[in-house]
Amino acid sequence: MIAVVKETATQDQLDHFVKWIEGRGFKTNVSQGDNETIVGIIGDTTQIDPFLLESMDIIERVQRVSEPFKKANRKFHPEDTVVDCGRSVKIGGGNFQVIAGPCSVEGKNLFDIARAVKASGATMLRGGAYKPRTSPYSYQGMGEKGLDLLVEASAELDMPIVTEVMDPRDVQLFLDKGIDVMQIGARNAQNFPLLREVGKTQVPVLLKRGLSETIDELLMGAEYIMSEGNPNVILCERGIRTFETRTRNTFDVNAIPVLHHLSHLPVVGDPSHATGYTRYVRSAAYAATAAGADGLEIEVHDNPSEAWSDGAQALTPAQFDDAMRRIRLIREAVTAPVEEAE
Ligand code: PEP
Ligand code: MN
Protein backbone atom coordinates (compact mmCIF):
# COMPACT_ATOMS: atom_id res chain seq x y z
CA MET A 1 0.00 0.00 0.00
CA ILE A 2 1.19 3.54 -0.69
CA ALA A 3 0.07 6.78 0.92
CA VAL A 4 0.69 9.92 -1.14
CA VAL A 5 1.43 12.82 1.19
CA LYS A 6 -0.02 16.30 0.58
CA GLU A 7 2.40 19.00 -0.57
CA THR A 8 1.41 21.09 2.44
CA ALA A 9 2.58 18.45 4.97
CA THR A 10 5.49 19.44 7.20
CA GLN A 11 8.44 17.15 7.99
CA ASP A 12 7.14 16.84 11.57
CA GLN A 13 3.74 15.65 10.37
CA LEU A 14 5.40 13.16 8.02
CA ASP A 15 7.65 11.78 10.80
CA HIS A 16 4.65 11.48 13.07
CA PHE A 17 2.69 9.58 10.42
CA VAL A 18 5.61 7.18 9.73
CA LYS A 19 5.99 6.52 13.47
CA TRP A 20 2.28 5.85 13.78
CA ILE A 21 2.35 3.30 10.92
CA GLU A 22 5.49 1.61 12.24
CA GLY A 23 3.96 1.48 15.71
CA ARG A 24 1.30 -0.78 14.19
CA GLY A 25 3.93 -3.31 13.11
CA PHE A 26 4.42 -2.24 9.50
CA LYS A 27 7.63 -1.35 7.70
CA THR A 28 7.78 1.88 5.74
CA ASN A 29 9.69 3.17 2.75
CA VAL A 30 9.60 6.96 2.37
CA SER A 31 10.33 8.34 -1.08
CA GLN A 32 10.75 12.12 -1.12
CA GLY A 33 10.72 13.08 -4.80
CA ASP A 34 10.75 16.48 -6.45
CA ASN A 35 7.04 16.30 -7.16
CA GLU A 36 5.56 14.21 -4.39
CA THR A 37 6.32 12.33 -1.22
CA ILE A 38 5.17 8.75 -0.96
CA VAL A 39 5.08 6.53 2.09
CA GLY A 40 5.22 2.87 1.09
CA ILE A 41 3.67 0.59 3.70
CA ILE A 42 4.94 -3.00 3.82
CA GLY A 43 3.29 -5.85 5.69
CA ASP A 44 -0.18 -7.35 5.81
CA THR A 45 -1.92 -4.14 4.77
CA THR A 46 -5.31 -5.84 4.57
CA GLN A 47 -5.50 -4.81 8.24
CA ILE A 48 -5.31 -1.12 7.32
CA ASP A 49 -8.47 0.80 6.53
CA PRO A 50 -7.56 3.04 3.57
CA PHE A 51 -10.45 5.39 4.41
CA LEU A 52 -8.97 6.00 7.84
CA LEU A 53 -5.65 7.03 6.27
CA GLU A 54 -7.38 9.20 3.67
CA SER A 55 -9.22 10.99 6.45
CA MET A 56 -5.90 12.18 7.87
CA ASP A 57 -4.92 15.81 7.25
CA ILE A 58 -1.64 15.14 5.51
CA ILE A 59 -2.72 12.28 3.24
CA GLU A 60 -3.69 13.07 -0.36
CA ARG A 61 -4.67 9.53 -1.39
CA VAL A 62 -4.05 5.86 -0.65
CA GLN A 63 -3.50 3.10 -3.18
CA ARG A 64 -3.13 -0.64 -2.75
CA VAL A 65 -0.11 -2.16 -4.49
CA SER A 66 -0.96 -5.61 -5.70
CA GLU A 67 2.53 -6.63 -6.85
CA PRO A 68 4.53 -8.66 -4.32
CA PHE A 69 7.64 -6.52 -4.91
CA LYS A 70 7.38 -3.33 -2.90
CA LYS A 71 10.75 -1.60 -2.44
CA ALA A 72 11.68 -2.34 -6.05
CA ASN A 73 8.30 -1.07 -7.25
CA ARG A 74 8.04 2.22 -9.11
CA LYS A 75 4.76 2.88 -7.29
CA PHE A 76 6.77 3.08 -4.04
CA HIS A 77 9.46 5.27 -5.60
CA PRO A 78 8.29 7.05 -8.77
CA GLU A 79 11.64 8.64 -9.61
CA ASP A 80 14.49 6.67 -11.17
CA THR A 81 17.04 5.42 -8.69
CA VAL A 82 20.59 6.52 -9.35
CA VAL A 83 23.18 4.05 -8.03
CA ASP A 84 26.58 5.42 -7.09
CA CYS A 85 29.16 2.81 -8.12
CA GLY A 86 32.15 4.71 -6.73
CA ARG A 87 34.85 6.86 -8.37
CA SER A 88 32.06 9.31 -9.41
CA VAL A 89 30.41 6.75 -11.68
CA LYS A 90 26.63 6.85 -11.33
CA ILE A 91 24.11 4.71 -13.18
CA GLY A 92 20.39 5.28 -13.76
CA GLY A 93 18.19 8.36 -14.04
CA GLY A 94 19.83 9.47 -17.28
CA ASN A 95 23.36 8.27 -16.41
CA PHE A 96 24.49 5.64 -18.93
CA GLN A 97 27.54 3.46 -18.21
CA VAL A 98 29.36 0.71 -20.07
CA ILE A 99 30.92 -2.12 -18.05
CA ALA A 100 33.53 -4.03 -20.06
CA GLY A 101 36.31 -6.54 -19.54
CA PRO A 102 37.07 -10.23 -19.79
CA CYS A 103 34.73 -13.00 -18.68
CA SER A 104 37.40 -14.27 -16.25
CA VAL A 105 40.36 -12.58 -14.67
CA GLU A 106 43.31 -14.53 -16.09
CA GLY A 107 46.37 -12.52 -15.08
CA LYS A 108 48.20 -9.41 -16.15
CA ASN A 109 46.40 -9.16 -19.52
CA LEU A 110 43.56 -7.69 -17.42
CA PHE A 111 45.51 -4.41 -17.42
CA ASP A 112 45.86 -4.31 -21.23
CA ILE A 113 42.16 -5.06 -21.66
CA ALA A 114 41.24 -2.45 -19.03
CA ARG A 115 43.35 0.24 -20.71
CA ALA A 116 41.81 -0.56 -24.09
CA VAL A 117 38.19 -0.54 -22.94
CA LYS A 118 38.72 2.66 -20.98
CA ALA A 119 40.22 4.36 -24.04
CA SER A 120 37.10 3.38 -25.98
CA GLY A 121 34.78 4.87 -23.36
CA ALA A 122 33.98 2.07 -20.90
CA THR A 123 33.51 3.48 -17.41
CA MET A 124 33.54 0.29 -15.32
CA LEU A 125 35.76 -2.79 -15.48
CA ARG A 126 34.38 -6.33 -15.24
CA GLY A 127 36.08 -9.67 -14.74
CA GLY A 128 35.17 -12.83 -12.85
CA ALA A 129 37.44 -14.13 -10.10
CA TYR A 130 34.88 -16.71 -8.98
CA LYS A 131 33.26 -18.35 -12.00
CA PRO A 132 29.92 -20.19 -11.87
CA ARG A 133 30.73 -22.82 -14.51
CA THR A 134 28.16 -25.34 -15.69
CA SER A 135 30.79 -28.09 -15.41
CA PRO A 136 32.86 -28.65 -12.26
CA TYR A 137 35.76 -29.57 -14.59
CA SER A 138 35.80 -26.16 -16.34
CA TYR A 139 38.04 -23.32 -15.16
CA GLN A 140 36.64 -22.04 -11.85
CA GLY A 141 38.43 -18.67 -11.61
CA MET A 142 41.51 -17.30 -9.84
CA GLY A 143 39.68 -16.64 -6.57
CA GLU A 144 41.19 -14.13 -4.15
CA LYS A 145 44.22 -13.50 -6.42
CA GLY A 146 41.79 -12.46 -9.13
CA LEU A 147 40.12 -9.99 -6.78
CA ASP A 148 43.55 -8.50 -5.97
CA LEU A 149 44.29 -8.03 -9.67
CA LEU A 150 40.94 -6.32 -10.17
CA VAL A 151 41.57 -3.99 -7.24
CA GLU A 152 45.00 -3.13 -8.65
CA ALA A 153 43.60 -2.47 -12.13
CA SER A 154 40.79 -0.39 -10.65
CA ALA A 155 43.27 1.86 -8.83
CA GLU A 156 45.56 2.18 -11.84
CA LEU A 157 42.76 3.05 -14.25
CA ASP A 158 40.42 4.83 -11.84
CA MET A 159 37.50 2.57 -12.84
CA PRO A 160 35.04 0.91 -10.45
CA ILE A 161 35.02 -2.88 -10.73
CA VAL A 162 32.15 -5.30 -11.16
CA THR A 163 32.82 -8.88 -10.16
CA GLU A 164 30.71 -11.89 -9.25
CA VAL A 165 30.19 -13.19 -5.74
CA MET A 166 28.91 -16.78 -5.61
CA ASP A 167 28.97 -17.72 -1.96
CA PRO A 168 27.46 -15.87 1.02
CA ARG A 169 30.65 -16.75 2.95
CA ASP A 170 32.70 -14.65 0.49
CA VAL A 171 30.73 -11.41 0.93
CA GLN A 172 32.94 -10.23 3.80
CA LEU A 173 36.06 -10.82 1.66
CA PHE A 174 34.53 -8.70 -1.12
CA LEU A 175 33.87 -5.95 1.45
CA ASP A 176 37.41 -6.18 2.83
CA LYS A 177 38.87 -5.90 -0.66
CA GLY A 178 36.70 -2.86 -1.41
CA ILE A 179 34.91 -4.34 -4.43
CA ASP A 180 32.78 -1.56 -5.96
CA VAL A 181 29.91 -3.61 -7.43
CA MET A 182 29.04 -7.21 -6.54
CA GLN A 183 27.52 -9.18 -9.40
CA ILE A 184 25.01 -11.93 -8.72
CA GLY A 185 25.11 -14.28 -11.68
CA ALA A 186 22.20 -15.82 -13.54
CA ARG A 187 22.75 -19.17 -11.85
CA ASN A 188 22.45 -17.55 -8.43
CA ALA A 189 19.57 -15.21 -9.20
CA GLN A 190 17.34 -17.09 -6.74
CA ASN A 191 20.01 -18.05 -4.21
CA PHE A 192 18.09 -16.35 -1.41
CA PRO A 193 20.73 -16.68 1.34
CA LEU A 194 23.24 -14.99 -1.03
CA LEU A 195 20.75 -12.25 -1.94
CA ARG A 196 20.10 -11.61 1.75
CA GLU A 197 23.81 -11.48 2.52
CA VAL A 198 24.61 -8.85 -0.14
CA GLY A 199 21.45 -7.06 1.04
CA LYS A 200 23.05 -6.56 4.46
CA THR A 201 25.75 -4.38 2.86
CA GLN A 202 25.44 -1.02 1.11
CA VAL A 203 27.65 -2.12 -1.81
CA PRO A 204 25.88 -1.84 -5.20
CA VAL A 205 24.65 -5.18 -6.54
CA LEU A 206 24.32 -6.01 -10.24
CA LEU A 207 21.58 -8.66 -10.22
CA LYS A 208 21.38 -10.77 -13.35
CA ARG A 209 18.16 -12.35 -14.52
CA GLY A 210 18.06 -16.12 -13.96
CA LEU A 211 18.27 -18.51 -16.89
CA SER A 212 14.52 -19.17 -16.82
CA GLU A 213 13.33 -16.35 -14.62
CA THR A 214 10.26 -14.27 -15.28
CA ILE A 215 10.51 -10.51 -14.94
CA ASP A 216 8.49 -10.69 -11.71
CA GLU A 217 10.85 -13.29 -10.26
CA LEU A 218 13.82 -11.05 -11.10
CA LEU A 219 12.12 -8.20 -9.26
CA MET A 220 11.49 -10.47 -6.27
CA GLY A 221 15.23 -11.20 -6.24
CA ALA A 222 15.84 -7.44 -6.06
CA GLU A 223 13.26 -7.28 -3.27
CA TYR A 224 15.25 -9.84 -1.23
CA ILE A 225 18.31 -7.59 -1.44
CA MET A 226 16.40 -4.38 -0.73
CA SER A 227 14.37 -5.86 2.12
CA GLU A 228 17.65 -6.35 4.02
CA GLY A 229 18.41 -2.63 3.69
CA ASN A 230 20.53 -2.31 0.54
CA PRO A 231 18.77 0.02 -1.94
CA ASN A 232 21.66 -0.07 -4.46
CA VAL A 233 20.42 -2.66 -6.92
CA ILE A 234 21.06 -2.66 -10.68
CA LEU A 235 19.01 -5.13 -12.75
CA CYS A 236 20.54 -6.97 -15.69
CA GLU A 237 18.83 -8.61 -18.67
CA ARG A 238 21.31 -11.21 -19.96
CA GLY A 239 19.11 -13.43 -22.11
CA ILE A 240 16.77 -16.23 -21.13
CA ARG A 241 16.49 -19.87 -22.09
CA THR A 242 14.01 -20.55 -24.88
CA PHE A 243 13.53 -23.26 -27.53
CA GLU A 244 15.96 -21.40 -29.81
CA THR A 245 19.35 -23.07 -30.16
CA ARG A 246 21.07 -20.80 -32.70
CA THR A 247 22.11 -18.43 -29.93
CA ARG A 248 23.30 -19.21 -26.40
CA ASN A 249 20.22 -17.48 -24.97
CA THR A 250 17.39 -15.34 -26.30
CA PHE A 251 17.85 -11.64 -25.56
CA ASP A 252 14.60 -10.41 -24.06
CA VAL A 253 14.90 -6.81 -25.17
CA ASN A 254 11.28 -6.31 -24.08
CA ALA A 255 12.40 -6.74 -20.49
CA ILE A 256 14.21 -3.39 -20.57
CA PRO A 257 11.14 -1.14 -21.00
CA VAL A 258 9.01 -3.51 -18.90
CA LEU A 259 11.47 -3.31 -15.99
CA HIS A 260 11.62 0.47 -16.35
CA HIS A 261 7.83 0.59 -16.20
CA LEU A 262 7.57 -1.64 -13.13
CA SER A 263 10.64 -0.52 -11.22
CA HIS A 264 12.74 2.55 -10.49
CA LEU A 265 16.00 0.56 -10.50
CA PRO A 266 18.60 1.00 -13.26
CA VAL A 267 18.55 -1.67 -15.99
CA VAL A 268 21.65 -2.95 -17.78
CA GLY A 269 21.72 -5.12 -20.91
CA ASP A 270 24.33 -7.88 -21.33
CA PRO A 271 24.53 -8.67 -25.05
CA SER A 272 27.47 -11.08 -24.57
CA HIS A 273 25.72 -13.80 -22.56
CA ALA A 274 22.45 -12.99 -24.34
CA THR A 275 23.81 -14.09 -27.73
CA GLY A 276 26.90 -16.19 -27.00
CA TYR A 277 28.61 -15.40 -30.30
CA THR A 278 30.89 -12.47 -31.06
CA ARG A 279 29.19 -11.87 -34.42
CA TYR A 280 25.85 -11.06 -32.78
CA VAL A 281 26.98 -9.15 -29.69
CA ARG A 282 27.08 -5.71 -31.27
CA SER A 283 23.56 -5.94 -32.71
CA ALA A 284 22.16 -6.90 -29.32
CA ALA A 285 24.14 -4.08 -27.66
CA TYR A 286 22.61 -1.57 -30.08
CA ALA A 287 19.12 -2.98 -29.45
CA ALA A 288 19.54 -2.67 -25.67
CA THR A 289 20.80 0.90 -26.00
CA ALA A 290 17.89 1.83 -28.27
CA ALA A 291 15.45 0.21 -25.82
CA GLY A 292 16.60 2.64 -23.14
CA ALA A 293 19.00 0.55 -21.06
CA ASP A 294 20.92 2.53 -18.43
CA GLY A 295 24.06 0.66 -19.30
CA LEU A 296 25.64 -2.35 -20.96
CA GLU A 297 27.91 -5.12 -19.75
CA ILE A 298 30.12 -6.43 -22.55
CA GLU A 299 32.86 -9.08 -22.52
CA VAL A 300 36.09 -7.99 -24.19
CA HIS A 301 39.30 -10.04 -24.55
CA ASP A 302 42.65 -9.17 -26.12
CA ASN A 303 42.93 -12.66 -27.60
CA PRO A 304 39.49 -14.33 -27.62
CA SER A 305 40.67 -17.66 -29.04
CA GLU A 306 42.90 -18.06 -25.97
CA ALA A 307 40.37 -16.84 -23.38
CA TRP A 308 39.90 -19.14 -20.37
CA SER A 309 36.13 -18.76 -20.56
CA ASP A 310 33.52 -17.37 -22.96
CA GLY A 311 36.01 -16.65 -25.77
CA ALA A 312 33.30 -17.36 -28.36
CA GLN A 313 31.35 -14.27 -27.30
CA ALA A 314 34.21 -11.88 -26.55
CA LEU A 315 34.73 -8.74 -28.60
CA THR A 316 38.29 -7.75 -29.43
CA PRO A 317 39.31 -4.27 -28.26
CA ALA A 318 38.97 -3.07 -31.88
CA GLN A 319 35.45 -4.49 -32.20
CA PHE A 320 34.55 -2.95 -28.85
CA ASP A 321 35.87 0.44 -29.96
CA ASP A 322 33.77 0.26 -33.11
CA ALA A 323 30.70 -0.74 -31.05
CA MET A 324 31.19 2.15 -28.61
CA ARG A 325 31.11 4.70 -31.42
CA ARG A 326 27.74 3.43 -32.59
CA ILE A 327 26.41 3.00 -29.03
CA ARG A 328 27.13 6.68 -28.37
CA LEU A 329 25.22 7.67 -31.53
CA ILE A 330 22.24 5.49 -30.63
CA ARG A 331 22.23 6.82 -27.08
CA GLU A 332 22.18 10.37 -28.44
CA ALA A 333 19.33 9.49 -30.79
CA VAL A 334 17.14 8.01 -28.07
CA THR A 335 17.76 10.76 -25.53
CA ALA A 336 17.75 13.84 -27.81
CA PRO A 337 14.71 16.08 -27.52
CA VAL A 338 12.55 15.94 -30.63
CA GLU A 339 10.16 18.59 -31.87
CA GLU A 340 6.51 17.81 -31.29
CA ALA A 341 4.57 17.10 -34.47
CA GLU A 342 2.17 19.95 -35.42
C1 PEP B 1 29.41 -13.54 -16.45
O2 PEP B 1 29.06 -12.36 -16.36
O3 PEP B 1 30.54 -13.90 -16.82
C4 PEP B 1 28.40 -14.60 -16.20
C5 PEP B 1 28.74 -15.80 -15.75
O6 PEP B 1 27.16 -14.20 -16.51
P7 PEP B 1 25.74 -14.92 -16.29
O8 PEP B 1 25.62 -15.13 -14.82
O9 PEP B 1 24.77 -13.94 -16.85
O10 PEP B 1 25.76 -16.22 -17.06
MN1 MN C 1 31.08 -14.83 -19.16
The CATH number of residue 170's host domain is 3.20.20.70
Domain-located, residue 281: yes
Same domain, 233 and 303: yes
Angle between helices 255-262 and 215-227 (to 10 degrees): 40
Residues with CB under 6 A from ligand 1: 103, 128, 132, 185-187, 208, 238, 273
Same domain, 37 and 159: no
Question: How far is residue 64's CA from residue 41's CA, in Å, rounded to a whole number?
Answer: 9
Question: How far is residue 59's CA from residue 78's CA, in Å, rounded to a whole number?
Answer: 17
Same domain, 53 and 118: no
Using the mean position of ligand 2's atoms as its centre, give its distance from the Cα of residue 157 in Å.
22
Give the environment of ion ligand 2: residues with CB less than 5 A. Answer: 103, 310
Ligand 1 atom showing the smallest separation from residue 208 Cα? 9
| Domain count for the chain | 2
Tell me: the pLDDT tens digits for 39-49?
999 999 988 99
Using the mean position of ligand 1's atoms as its centre, give its distance from the Cα of residue 95 in Å.
23
Same domain, 51 and 112: no
Same domain, 125 and 194: yes
Mean of pLDDT values over 56-68 = 94
Q: Which domain range does residue 236 map to?
A: 83-335
Tell me: the pLDDT tens digits for 171-223?
999 999 999 999 999 999 999 999 999 999 999 999 999 999 999 999 999 99
Question: Whose atoms come closest to the Cα of 307: which ligand?
Answer: 2
Tell me: the pLDDT tens digits for 215-270?
999 999 999 999 999 999 999 999 999 999 999 999 999 999 999 999 999 999 99
pLDDT band at 342 (very low <50, low <70, confident <90, very high): confident
pLDDT band at 276 (very low <50, low <70, confident <90, very high): very high
Same domain, 123 and 42: no
Determine what percent of the chain is predicted with pLDDT higher than 90.
96
| pTM of the entire predicted model | 0.96
Domain-located, residue 274: yes
Same domain, 58 and 184: no
Same domain, 34 and 164: no
Domain-located, residue 75: no
Pick the residue whose CA is nearest to atom 1 on ligand 1.
Answer: 103
Tell me: the pLDDT tens digits for 78-136?
999 999 999 999 999 999 999 999 999 999 999 999 999 999 999 999 999 999 999 99
Domain-located, residue 295: yes
Residue (of 13, 23, 25, 98) closest to 60 by Cα position: 13
Question: Whose atoms come closest to the Cα of 276: which ligand?
Answer: 2
- Cβ-contact 85, 125 below 8 angstroms: no
Same domain, 177 and 41: no
Tell me: the pLDDT tens digits for 284-340?
999 999 999 999 999 999 999 999 999 999 999 999 999 999 999 999 999 999 888
Same domain, 127 and 207: yes
Q: Is the pLDDT of residue 12 over 80?
A: yes
pLDDT band at 279 (very low <50, low <70, confident <90, very high): very high
Same domain, 91 and 50: no
Same domain, 193 and 96: yes
pLDDT of residue 217: 98
Backbone angles phi, psi at 238, to 5 degrees: -130, 20
Question: How far is residue 303's CA from residue 334's CA, in Å, rounded to a whole number?
Answer: 33
Instruction: Specify the CATH number for the domain of residue 44.
Output: 3.30.70.1140
Domain-located, residue 340: no
pLDDT of residue 35: 83
How many other C-beta atoms are found inside a 10 Å radius of the C-beta of residue 64?
Answer: 12
> Where is the domain boundary, 63, 95, 114?
63
